[in-house]
Structures are given as C-alpha cells and as structure tokens.
Amino acid sequence: MLARTTGSKPVIIFPDGEEKEIKRRGSPSILEGKKVLRKGAEHQAQALVLELMSIHPECGYYESVQMFKPHILVITNVRLDHLAQMGTSKEDIARCLASSIPENGTVFVPQGEFFPVFKEVAERMGSTIIQIPGDSFAE
C-alpha cells in the first residue's frame, strides 16, 4: 500500500512505512496525484490511499473520476471550509464533494441531512452508497 496525505505537511507513505515529505514549488495542485500514481506503480503497491486535494467541483470530478478512478471513496464530513471555492452553504459544499463520487464504486458517507445529495450522485454514477453513523467520523 502507498498513501498520500495533504494539509500542513504533505507526505507520501511508502509500503515499507517510510515517509517522505512532498516538496512543492508553488501552490498545491491536483496534478501532484499523477506523481503519486507513478510512485505506486514503481513500488508495485496493491492499493493507494489518497486524500483528494480538489476544492473546485470540476477539479474534484477530474481528480477522482478521471485520474484516480477509486473503487472506494470516503467522504468524512461536510463543513464550512474553502468557502470561496466550494460555496457558501453546507449544501453547496456537499454538492462539491459529491462531484468526486466515482463510477461503479463504493462510497461511504456520514449520516445526515446531506445524504440525499450524495445518494443522487452515487445513483447517477452507478455507485453503491453506504451511510456511516455521524459519530463514526472524528472531526
């Protein structure tokens, strides 16, 4: 397994557990994911665990559906974050996150008021959606 985390310290975690900080030249870019895919292939990783970086709906679709093509997607929460890019309401943000739902995958989402938003997109994409109790995801 190979993993990538983003946030305050972007890191690639290799199959042997070694961690290597991702050095960025400029702003974060979803194209960083292509390098992670290559690293996964180089290390013959059986699985990739990735945190999506997209904060624009069209980028979420590209990153998830076209670039990574995940079998499993976990949406951990809907919170007011990246308001200028994702929208000013939680429903806008839920719709933005839903743009990452893959074709024919399995999607885990928290129970709650935005389940219908995720369900609608999952059905359109041919994905299975599974609700997880809201307290299962720590914020």
Confidence of residue 8 (pLDDT cuts 50, 70, 90): confident
80 and 41 in one domain? no
In-domain check, residue 16: yes
Query: Looking at the domain assignment, is residue 57 inside a domain?
Result: no
Which has the closest alpha carbon to 1: 71, 49, 41, 37? 49
Confirm whether 62 is domain-assigned. no
Q: Are residues 77 and 126 in the same domain?
A: yes
Segment of 19-33, 43-57, 61-75, 110-124 carrying the highest mean pLDDT: 110-124
Query: Are 98 and 47 members of one domain?
Result: no
State the DSSP H helix or E strand holding residue 30, giving kind and residue range, or none if neither: none
Query: Is residue 65 assigned to a domain?
Result: no
Q: Residue 4: phi, psi to the nearest 5?
A: -135, 130
Identify the CA nearest to 58 among candidates 47, 50, 49, 67. 67
Does residue 88 contact residue 111 with C-beta atoms inside 8 Å? no
Residue 120 falls inside a structural domain:
yes
Q: Please tell me whether residues 29 and 83 are part of one structural domain.
A: no
Residue-averaged pLDDT of the chain = 84
What is the pLDDT averaged over residues 105-128? 93
Q: Are residues 77 and 132 in the same domain?
A: yes
What are the phi and psi torsion angles at 3 (to 5°)? Answer: -130, 155
Number of domains in the chain: 2
Residue 63 lies in a domain: no
In a domain, 56, yes or no: no
Q: The whole model's pTM is what?
A: 0.79
Asked if the structure places residue 58 within a domain, the reply is no
Mean pLDDT of 103-116: 91
The domain of 121 spans 73-139
Phi, psi for 54 (deg, rounded to 5): -65, 135
Give the residue with greater pLDDT, 81 vs 95.
Answer: 95
Confidence of residue 45 (pLDDT cuts 50, 70, 90): very high
Instruction: Pick the closest to residue 40 from 29, 31, 30, 49 (CA basis).
Output: 49
